[in-house]
Amino acid sequence: MITTTDLTKVYRSRGREVTALAGVDLHVRPGEVYGVVGTSGAGKSTLIRCVNMLERPTSGTVTVDGVELTALSGGENRAGKDLREARRRIGMVFQHFNLLSSRTVQQNVELPLEIIGLDRTQRRRKAAELLDLVGLGDKARSYPNQLSGGQKQRVGIARALAGDPKVLLSDEATSALDPETTRSILKLLRDLNQQLGLTVLLITHEMDVIKSVCDSAALMRGGRVVESGELTDLLAEPGSELARELFPLSEFGTGHPGTTVLEITFQGDTPAQPFVSQLARTYQIDINILGAAVETIAGRMVGRMRVELPGGHQDNVVPIGYLREQGLQVDVIGTANGAAA
């Protein structure tokens, strides 16, 4: 649904060059919620703004729903007719909502409909539908200043959906909201994704956002995507940075000298098996649990446990093999002699 190939963006100013994007390949499939995460300066904001050409990429291509936007004419601030047409099918929500204070909630939602060229009655009907959809049917006549942050973002979302887009871009939509409001907005995005089959590309600096709504994610650093994929795959991938960030166990102990520390990740119904006691019984070893957590990621239950087994890696090859046979993902994160799986 959204594909970028080798996207680069270089800002030039007084002979100085700043590379914001250094060759980004992104592939967002239809109907999924795709999250791009990274710290400030990673280039994620530039990336999402390149998707609808609010920023012109320096090189590379962007294709949204089969239309190659990079091939359409128009500068950053003055889009050509074709690009404007294409943008009408891409909704966008912003961190600071960007609602017009001179218009009521309903009139704000009607703005994109005016641009599309619907008549007054059609606009009214559509705006009312959209406001009901986001749960603000009773606020049509209010002004943005009378709304809370969460309500403003709901208006922003209703407005973004006005053109019946297939794609919704979310530029830090929840970053200005408190945690509870963030959850309700994310739930709304998830619901819209499922009800309308909307493809959502969101950028955020919060791992919690990725964890609670995304199907797939990409980690950006220094203008590059360092890791990307479906969350369930990423979690099963040994050494995945995203998985570690999504599911940090770093605050747990790292074990004692002369022992082997394992990180065991299980998805779905694997934890139904009592593998810890089975392991202890079968191999007659004492297992020390350093830490464990279970979370729901991308709608699936995922657990991670850090355990300590006596002896070095060589001594524990057989128990590790046993755990892997059970369908568990085992990462050896530290042993007495420093070996790693």
Partner 1 sequence: MSGLSWDQMQELMWPATQETFQMVGVATVCTVLVGLPIGVLLVLTSKGGALQNQPVNKVLGAVVNLARSLPFIILMIALISFTRWLTGNSLGWQAATVPLTVGAIPFFARLVETSVREVDRGLIEAVQAMGGSTWTLVRKTLVPEALPGIVASVTTTVIALIGYSAMAGTVGGGGLGDLAYRYGYLRFETAFMWIIVAEIAIIVTVIQLAGDLAVRRLANRGRGGGRTRLLRPRASAPAPDEDLVAS
Residues forming contacts to partner 1 in the complex (CB under 8 A) are 11, 13, 18, 20, 40-46, 52, 54, 75, 77-79, 83-88, 90-92, 94-96, 98-104, 111-112, 114-116, 142-146, 159-160, 162-163, 169, 172, 175
Whole-angstrom CA distances from 28 to 31, 93, 142, 196 are 9, 18, 36, 17
Closest distance to partner 1 from the beta carbon of 181 (Å): 17
Nearer to partner 1, 78 or 337 (CB): 78
Closest distance to partner 1 from the beta carbon of 209 (Å): 15
Closest distance to partner 1 from the beta carbon of 80 (Å): 10
Nearer to partner 1, 10 or 285 (CB): 10
Nearer to partner 1, 67 or 301 (CB): 67
Nearer to partner 1, 16 or 269 (CB): 16
Tokens of 336: 């007495």
Cβ neighbour number for residue 297 with a 10 Å cutoff? 20
Closest distance to partner 1 from the beta carbon of 303 (Å): 34
Closest distance to partner 1 from the beta carbon of 90 (Å): 7
Nearer to partner 1, 105 or 249 (CB): 105
Nearer to partner 1, 45 or 232 (CB): 45
Closest distance to partner 1 from the beta carbon of 3 (Å): 19
